[in-house]
Amino acid sequence: MDILTDTIIDNLKLFPFLFITYLCLEYMEHKTANRVTDVIRKAKFSGPLLGSICGLLPQCGFSVAAANFYAARVIGLGTLLAIYLSTSDEMLPIFISQAVSPLLISKILIYKAFCAVVFGYTAMFISLKYQKSRVIDIEQLCKNENCHCDEGILRPALHHSLNIAVFIFAVSLCLNYAVSLFDVNGIAKYLQIPLFGEMLSGFLGLIPNCSPSVILSQFYLDGYISVNMLISGTLVNSGVGILMLFRVNRHLKENLKIVTLLYVCGIIGGLCSNFFEF
């Protein structure tokens, strides 16, 4: 019952972000498609910077919205990656509730944002060089979801949101139950091994759920892992953002490349944090 209750609460908190995201997409398609397209194209070079700032807010709503915007070709790879890397999900609330030094929290968040900007812009320039230009295609996203977008804005947005919410609830419930079966203390022992600890933290962060950020934060507070291992895991973890990406973006190989890139960036970011004082 605890797992079920937690899953329901998490999805209820996520639903407003889903609805607002799809409401914006529907409005863009129906009302201001050409004008919004021009604005986005002109502002695309500031995407990773803005994405890194948005991702710092303590929830995974922006990573969910980013997956939808990426699938609709509204944002590029650099912006998506920046949002995923800067997202900390439950780390910030846990640290605040445990009276962790505000200076330490600020340093971790600033470093995560720094990594998000660096890796985000790197990914953006590489993707611009080797990929064809991405045409904004909200209509295709709607067709994939069969949302009847010719019936106005509110109804299709609600249709999108409910479909995705049900999907996330089902998967999250399974993941929460699976995580509850893990030997948490056993995992903590392996996390203490240098390099392997960063790699395992990053792998744990790939679980599309809020549980990894909770576990990693508690491990750090209990002294099981170092701050660089915490950073590796939280850089990779984007809440249910990855889950949403696989749900709405129909290009499987592209999604796998993004996940691999996210993992590599998380490990590099965690290792490089050894050169900074926390």
**What are the backbone angles phi and psi of residue 195, rounded to the nearest 5°?**
65, -55
The per-residue pLDDT for 33 is 47
The per-residue pLDDT for 195 is 80
CA neighbor of 202 nearest in space, from 251, 249, 120, 264 = 264
Is residue 235 within 8 Å of residue 271, measured between CB atoms? no
Residue 14 has pLDDT above 60, yes or no: yes
The per-residue pLDDT for 81 is 94
Joined together, the tokens standing for residue 235 give: 């850089």
Residue 60, classed as helix, strand or coil, is coil
* pLDDT interval class at 227 (50, 70, 90): very high
Among the residue ranges 129-143, 190-204, 224-238, the one predicted with the least confidence is 129-143
With a CB cutoff of 8 Å and minimum separation 6, the contacts of 61 are: 13, 14, 16, 17
Residue 108, classed as helix, strand or coil, is helix
Domain of 42 in residue numbering reads as 2-275
- Counting the structural domains of the chain, the total is 1
- Per-residue model confidence as pLDDT tens digits over 135-152: 555 555 555 555 555 556
Residue 277 has pLDDT above 50, yes or no: yes
Strands (E), 9-156: none
CA–CA distances in Å: residue 201 to residues 103, 207, 229, 261: 23, 11, 6, 15
Arithmetic mean of pLDDT over the chain: 79
The per-residue pLDDT for 159 is 76
**What are the backbone angles phi and psi of residue 277, rounded to the nearest 5°?**
-95, 130
Residue 12 has pLDDT above 60, yes or no: yes
Note the pTM of the prediction, 2 decimals.
0.76
The per-residue pLDDT for 36 is 46
The per-residue pLDDT for 239 is 80
- Per-residue model confidence as pLDDT tens digits over 228-246: 999 999 999 988 889 889 9
Residue 223 has pLDDT above 90, yes or no: no
Region 246-257: mean pLDDT is 90
Is residue 248 within 8 Å of residue 215, measured between CB atoms? no
What DSSP state is assigned to residue 73?
A: T
